[in-house]
A and B are shown apart, each in its own frame.
Chain A
Amino acid sequence: MKGAQILIELLKREGVEVIFGYPGGAVIDIYDVIYETPEIHHILVRHEQGAAHAADGYARSTGKVGVCMATSGPGATNLVTGLATAYMDSIPIVAITGQVGTPLIGKDSFQEADITGITMPITKHNFLVTRVEDLAFIVREAFYIASSGRPGPVVIDIPKDVQQKTTEFVYPEKIKIPGYKPTYRGHVKQITLAAAAIMEAERPLLYVGGGVITSGASAQLLELAEKTDIPVVHTMMGKGTFPESHPLSLGMLGMHGTYWANKAVMNCDLLIAVGARFDDRVTGKVDTFAPKAKIIHIDIDPAEIGKNVKSDIPIVGDARLVLGELVKRVERKTHPQWREEIETFKRAYSPPYKESPKLLPHHVITLIYEKTHGENTILVTDVGQHQMWAAQMYRCEKPRTWVSSGGLGTMGYGLPASIGVQIGNPDKRVILISGDGSIFMKIQEMVTAVNYGLPLKIFVMNNSYLGMVRQWQGCLYKKRYSCTRLHNPDLAVVARAFGAEGLTVKTQAELEQAIDKALAIQDRPVLVDCHVAEEENVLPFVPPGKSLEEMILE
């Protein structure tokens, strides 16, 4: 069998149904095999970054490994932002890149780039395949590494001659990686200590992140929270881990978290972090974070323990298994006084959305929420103000219904990620909330969405500004709006030129009809250009480097 055939055979055996990719000289042999492989659906994007984000969106929404493919050199380097995005959010992706033939490596050959060198710090692992005999093992190892432990992207770089060479195909039944043994079961002694701390605490708080989604621990989280009456704050990555309509949910914490979530963090006496990594956008000034609390930190990655914040009871393990053990070791308990204290935080502040004749972002997002929330919708965002508004106002009840670039904050992520989400979830409604800055970073993927007839619902919060930067300039740089004014073409016309539906909303009165129309279209993408008030801010706002106590509230 040829190397290219071995690769595709292995992908089939890994259960890969979709590849997001873009052909080129160094992957023609692989595409030649794809040509005769109906079991694998290839989605042709219009830029390799789109392929990586689409594979990422596919992975986040389905829980499977996303696969993307690109040619050598520029094709491979175009994947880089997508790989970094997936790495920061621990998303399992296998990226297959072509490479110049082995005799040409290191000679600055045409379309040669050292992609394994380039992606070393932004992948969980990467491989350069130098012998066709190693290919089958490497592909299996790549999928195992990408999807196990703390997941992440893995690159397999395959030189053209390795794709062409033949060898006897033997499926590697067993793989052996001596230095890679993720810890899934938490240490019993630590879990017992954690249970005791929970029973002692008077003002406990759960702080949950994306790791809960990765491990599928939502049921155990709900059980623990309800059994011990512990309120829950979630990170942006943790949206959907715990039903936001639940009375114990306090919403998102951090820079743009809810007032009461941040107040709860600052006043709790026990903080139970699950699958969360004390990111600076969450903690604010880190040495003032949760100052009164003992900290239990549950994470599958030992390096997260003690990286940003010292924990009193670290537990390395899989969130689902650890929470499952923890639930067994705690007694039923209630915290009426603590719950009442939190209610007073809730009563003390409500978001300052004044009545306004203008169309405001919260009108749009709230109405989208009212018309679409439920099990059948997956919400995708880009990065910026609209992302934070969506995180605040679009409440998620189930895991894998919220898809957004967290750690890297990649503008342009939204549209290609939506494509991956829709491909992986053909029966679900996929809504993208984007901004006029973000949408143009990957607007060419409208072609892909149109070509495959994907009924994406794209709502652009168009304020003619690079809004989040403008907000910082407004609050922290004396309103010196340097280079953040955006002069955009008519987005509805742009959408129509791509073959999508394009709608424009300029007033509150036009909003409902446009949303209804967008939701009704099923055969092509719809872009709704929402001209929202230009200088709205995302509130509350904890300025960077400040304590969560120092929220700007209006």
Chain B
Amino acid sequence: MQHIISVLVENKPRVLARVASLFARRGYNIESLAVGPTQDPQISRITLVVHGNEDILEQITKQLYKLIEVIKVGDFTNTSYVDRELALIKVNAPAAVRSEVAQIAEIFRARIVDVEEKSLTVEVTGTPDKIDALEQLLRKYGIIEMTRTGRIALARGSKSL
């Protein structure tokens, strides 16, 4: 089962390496990883998407807590949360199909962030499913390159981790 885990860590060098090394050493798979600052400059948030049953998730959580610089670990499974991912997709768009591509982008509320004679770059945010769907539709025009961030998430409501 897929889990989104949020990890608050001290904003210090090598913390990401420690987390990644822990996953490698214990044989846990990371599906996606995103890291960035929080409202407190001394704390960063790492969002991990991992697969595993309850026992594995329990071990992952406990092992993460053993890292000295890990302050808090939260699993969003079975809670109400908002999650988002961002993608940049550069797609072939010669004059003949340009408006078609732009229209698809609009349906997905994607923004065109770069235009060139033969290509368009669209920016889309959303759940992984939505991004997958857009990618699928754009494929037939020829995707030149694309990049996706890891997923980030926050709990709904006024509660925090």
Contacts and interface: CB of A to CB of B under 8 A. Distances in A.
Contacts of B71: 178-179
B77 to A, nearest CB: 18
A178 B58 contact: no
Interface in B12-31: 13-14, 17-18, 21-22, 25
A306 interface: yes
B68 A306 contact: no
B124 to A, nearest CB: 35
Contacts of B9: 179
A103 interface: no
A263 to B, nearest CB: 29
Contacts of B116: none
B105 to A, nearest CB: 42
Contacts, number: 41
B21 A306 contact: no
Given A120-B18, A121-B25, A303 B66 contact: yes
A307 B66 CA distance: 14
B76 interface: no
Given A117-B17, A128-B13, A145 B65 contact: no
A90 to B, nearest CB: 12
A78 interface: no
Given A120-B18, A178-B10, A179-B9, A306 B70 contact: no
A128 B18 CA distance: 14
Given A116-B14, A128-B13, A303 B25 contact: no
Contacts of B10: 178-179
A276 B14 CA distance: 31
A178 B9 CA distance: 9
B68 A177 contact: yes
B46 to A, nearest CB: 13
A179 B62 contact: no
A305 B65 CA distance: 13
B55 interface: yes
B17 A120 contact: yes
B68 A180 contact: yes
Interface string A301-313: 1110111000000
The 7 residue pairs across chains A and B that have the minimum distance between CB atoms: A303-B62, A179-B71, A125-B68, A179-B70, A180-B68, A302-B62, A121-B25
Given A179-B67, A305-B62, 9 more contacts: A116-B14, A120-B17, A120-B21, A121-B21, A179-B9, A179-B68, A301-B66, A302-B65, A307-B59
6 contacts: A120-B17, A128-B14, A177-B68, A303-B66, A305-B62, A306-B58
